[in-house]
């Protein structure tokens, strides 16, 4: 049941093999992602009903939480591959990549998706770690795809910081194993790294040891999840990667890393009480929100703006997760989904804007709304959603978080958050409003600027109708989820909350 995960891997190698026609790799990618998504939907439906899937030897495992994350990953991978077709064709025409590079791109893309899908399925914490590290490696190559100074620099920082961070995560994992080693695992061998076993025997584990483990893990995976103050790789990588990849990075990669934190937090929470975990998570959350909101004020490039907004949203997720309780946890999990729809949509819109603008700068273009009304409207919907404006979906999760804050009487945090959200709103509206509105014109930029960012500008907006349809669906999703949360998703979320609240922890 769980081995569908090899589908993207297969697709990857098909892409690598397809030397002759770039079309081939496009179709392979699309087909692979769609098949995987279909499978995941079945899985999720089952998980929503309470079924839990195991592979032999319990290395792979899928409960409601994993299914939920998987669902997001697979759906978003479909979106990303559809958009990739439009985007990479444009790049091909522009000559920023050649046919070979295209093949390479699709290969890595599928690999990346595969590694990400592995993360939530991993039951063994070491396997989880490997998967996360693998995502870094595969995506680093994608970030460096255009062999330009900036992209290489970004990739270098990305891989360096994330690998170092993740080293700490591994250390944490080892310590966790050591804590578990004393306890007899469920399946005979002394000490197991299976999350299920550790969770089962969580009460017996030594709290002090677990706390140490959690510290290393949270720094490690937190770096990858883009939590301030260890977020520094994120804006560079997001702004320099090809746009579909940026979408994947901020939409799900961050969540994959955060998923690791959550799994650990579940165990630690049971063993040594929620307070410790919650304080750490809330501290990270507040820091991220504040820093991101301030940095957004001074951004000149659209993708960096979005990148910082991702940091802000990861901060919100971490903050609500730290809050715990029915409000906090529901908010955190719901926010993961909401952000995973809104942010990629905005990246896609930005990609289209850049297809006609001089460079990636915010003042590189005016009046895009007139050039492509649909995209423009979607862009407005996107920024409204990202700024947490009702009736769009992100407002709901933020509202729940605020309820949590109020219930916990964290008035200062609430004040800080509200101020920060005001700044975020202003920055987003100023940035994208400036590009979408105004007289139709491309502000001429100094040549250096122009070549320094995405290559020469095309005349017509680059569109491919399936991509437009897909983006429209995403936009509708933003609105729909803002007004109604489907029962299935609600079940998945509530069951996943059970993982953290079930044993009286959190």
Partner 1 sequence: MISLAFFICGAVFFAITPKKGLLHYLYLLYAAGAGLAAFSFARALYDLGSPGAAPTLAFALHISPALAVSFRGGPLQDFFGLLLSVAAFAASVYSSGYMKDNAAPRFQGIFYGLFILSMGAVFLSGDALSFLISWEAMSLVSYFLVISDTESEAAQNAGLTYATMTHIGTAFIIGAFMLAFAATGSLDFAGMAAGLAGKSMALKSAIFILSFIGFGMKAGIVPLHIWLPKAHPAAPSNVSALMSGVMIKAGVYGVMLMSLYVLGGPGAHYATWWGIVVLATGAASSVLGVLYALMEKDLKRLLAYSSVENVGIIFLGTGAALVFYSFGQTALAGLALAAALYHAMNHAMFKGLLFLGSGSVMHGVHSKNLEEMGGLLKRMPYTGLFFLMGSVSICALPPFNGFVSEWLTFQSLILGSVTPPAYSKVVTLLGGAALALTGALAAAAFVKAFGVAFLGMPRGPKAREAREAGFPMTASLGFLAAMCLILGVEPGLLLRLISAMPFAGLAQMGSAAPFHSPLTVAGGFSGFWPAAIFASMLTGLLAIIVLAGVFGRRRKITYADSWDCGIKALTPRMQYTATAFTKPLRVIFKTLYMPRKEVRISFKQKPLFVSGITYRSDITPFMENYLYKPLTAFVGKVALKIRHLQSGSLPLYLGYIMLTLIGLLLVWA
Partner 2 sequence: MPLIKKWIEIFGVIDFISIGMLLSVVAMSSAKRIESCLKAYVINSWLLALLMAAFAVYLSIPHLYIAAFFTIAGKCILIPYFLRKVIRELKVTREVEPYLSMPVSLIISFALVVLVYSFLAEGIFVAGVARNVLKISVSIILISLFTMMNRKKAVTQVMGLLFMENGLFLAGFSLTYGMPTIIELGVLFDMMMGVMILGVFLTQIKKSFVSVDLDQLTSLKG
Residues that bind partner 2 (CB under 8 A): 124, 126-127, 129-130, 133-134, 136-137, 140-141, 144, 147-150, 152-157, 159-160, 163-164, 167-168, 170-171, 174-175, 177-178, 181, 191, 193, 206, 208-209, 211-212, 235-236, 239-240, 295, 298-300, 304
Local structure of residue 97 (DSSP, 8 states): S
Cis peptide before 312 (omega within 30 of 0): no
| 364 burial via Cβ count (<10 Å: 0-12, 13-18, 19+) | buried
CB of 281 to partner 2, least distance (A): 21
Between 191 and 433, CB nearer to partner 2:
191
* Closer of 44 and 166 to partner 2 (Cβ): 166
Measure the CA–CA gap between 285 and 31, rounded to whole angstroms: 38
- 155 versus 265: smaller Cβ distance to partner 2: 155
- Token readout for 204 is 């017996």
367's tokens: 């009046």
Residue 154 interacting entry, from partner 2, partner 1, none, C-beta within 5 to 8 Å by type: partner 2
Q: In angstroms, rounded to a whole number, what is the distance separating the alpha carbons of residues 284 and 223? A: 11
Residue 167 binding partner per list partner 2, partner 1, none, with a CB distance cut-off of 5 to 8 Å that depends on partner kind = partner 2
Q: Where are the beta strands (DSSP E) in 218-368?
A: none
181 binds, among partner 2, partner 1, none (CB under 5 to 8 A by kind): partner 2
> What are the start-end ranges of the H helices in 358-445?
368-371, 373-386, 393-407, 411-436
- Are 287 and 229 contacting, i.e. CB atoms less than 8 angstroms apart? yes
- Nearest distance, CB of residue 93 and partner 1, angstroms: 29
Q: Is the dihedral of CA 367, 368, 373, 374 positive or negative?
A: negative
Contact 470, 349 (CB under 8 A): no
What span, in angstroms and rounded, lies between the C-alpha atoms of 96 and 139? Answer: 19
How far apart, in whole angstroms, are the C-alpha atoms of residue 506 and residue 499? 10
Binds 418, which of partner 1, partner 2, none (CB < 5 to 8 A, cut-off by type)?
A: partner 1
Name which of 24 and 126 has its Cβ closer to partner 2. 126
- Closest CB 178 distance from partner 2, rounded Å: 4
**Is residue 435 within 8 Å of residue 357, measured between CB atoms?**
yes
Question: Closest CB to partner 1 among 199 and 212?
Answer: 212
Least distance between partner 1 and beta carbon 181 (Å): 20
> Which of 235, 364 has the CB closer to partner 2?
235
Which are the contacts of 393, defined by CB distance < 8 A and separation ≥ 6? 337, 338, 341, 342, 385, 477, 478, 479, 480, 481, 482
Which partner in partner 2, partner 1, none is near 409 (CB below 5 to 8 A by kind)? Answer: partner 1
* CB 65, min distance to partner 2, A: 23
What does the binding site for partner 1 look like in residue numbers (CB under 8 A)? 156-157, 160-161, 164-165, 168, 211-212, 215-216, 218-219, 223, 229-230, 232-233, 235, 280, 291, 294-295, 297-298, 326, 330, 367, 369-370, 380, 384, 387, 389-391, 395-396, 399-400, 402-403, 405-407, 409, 414-415, 418-419, 421-423, 425-426, 429-430, 433-434, 436-439, 483-485, 487, 490
E strand or H helix at 349: helix 325-356
Contact 329, 501 (CB under 8 A): yes
State the minimum distance, in angstroms, from the CB of residue 112 to partner 2.
Answer: 13
Nearer to partner 2, 13 or 412 (CB): 13
Query: By C-beta, is 153 or 279 nearer to partner 2?
Result: 153
């Amino acid at each position: 049941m769980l081995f569908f995960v090899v589908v993207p891997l297969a697709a990857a190698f098909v892409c690598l093999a397809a030397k002759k026609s770039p079309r081939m790799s496009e179709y392979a990618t699309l087909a692979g992602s769609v098949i995987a998504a279909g499978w995941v939907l079945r899985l999720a439906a089952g998980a929503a009903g309470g079924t839990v899937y195991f592979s032999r030897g319990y290395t792979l495992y899928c409960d409601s939480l994993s299914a939920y994350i998987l669902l997001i990953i697979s759906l978003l991978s479909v979106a990303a591959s559809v958009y990739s077709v439009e985007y990479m064709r444009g790049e091909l025409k522009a000559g920023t990549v050649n046919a070979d590079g295209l093949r390479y791109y699709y290969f890595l893309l599928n690999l990346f998706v595969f590694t990400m899908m592995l993360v939530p399925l991993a039951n063994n914490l070491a396997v989880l770690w490997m998967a996360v590290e693998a995502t870094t490696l595969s995506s680093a190559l994608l970030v460096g795809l255009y062999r330009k100074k900036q992209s290489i620099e970004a990739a270098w920082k990305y891989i360096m910081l994330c690998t170092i961070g993740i080293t700490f995560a591994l250390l944490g994992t080892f310590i966790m194993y050591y804590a578990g080693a004393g306890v007899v695992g469920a399946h005979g061998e002394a000490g197991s790294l299976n999350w299920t076993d550790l969770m089962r025997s969580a009460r017996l584990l030594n709290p002090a040891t677990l706390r140490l483990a959690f510290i290393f893990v949270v720094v490690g995976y937190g770096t990858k999840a883009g939590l301030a103050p260890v977020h520094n790789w994120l804006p560079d990588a997001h702004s320099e990667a090809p746009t579909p990849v940026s979408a994947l990075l901020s939409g799900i990669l961050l969540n994959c890393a955060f998923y690791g934190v959550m799994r650990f937090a579940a165990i630690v929470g049971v063993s040594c009480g929620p307070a410790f975990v919650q304080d750490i998570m809330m501290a990270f959350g507040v820091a991220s929100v504040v820093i991101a909101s301030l940095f957004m004020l001074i951004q000149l490039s659209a993708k960096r703006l979005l990148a910082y907004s991702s940091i802000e949203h990861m901060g919100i997720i971490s903050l609500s997760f730290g809050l715990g309780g029915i409000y906090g946890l529901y908010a955190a999990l719901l926010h993961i989904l909401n952000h995973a729809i809104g942010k990629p949509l905005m990246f896609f819109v930005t990609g289209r804007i850049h297809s006609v603008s001089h460079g990636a700068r915010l003042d590189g273009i005016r009046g895009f709304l007139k050039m492509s009304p649909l995209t423009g409207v979607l862009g407005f919907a996107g920024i409204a959603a990202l700024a947490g404006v009702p009736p769009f979906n992100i407002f709901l999760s933020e509202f729940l978080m605020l309820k949590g804050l109020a219930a916990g009487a964290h008035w200062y945090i609430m004040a800080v958050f509200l101020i920060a959200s005001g700044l975020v709103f202003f920055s987003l509206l100023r940035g994208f409003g400036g590009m979408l509105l105004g007289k139709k014109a491309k502000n001429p930029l100094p040549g250096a600027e122009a070549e320094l960012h995405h290559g020469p500008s095309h005349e017509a907006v680059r569109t491919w109708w399936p991509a437009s349809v897909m983006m429209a669906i995403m936009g509708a999703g933003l609105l729909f989820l803002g007004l109604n949360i489907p029962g299935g998703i609600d079940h998945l979320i509530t069951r996943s909350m059970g993982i953290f609240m079930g044993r009286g922890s959190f």
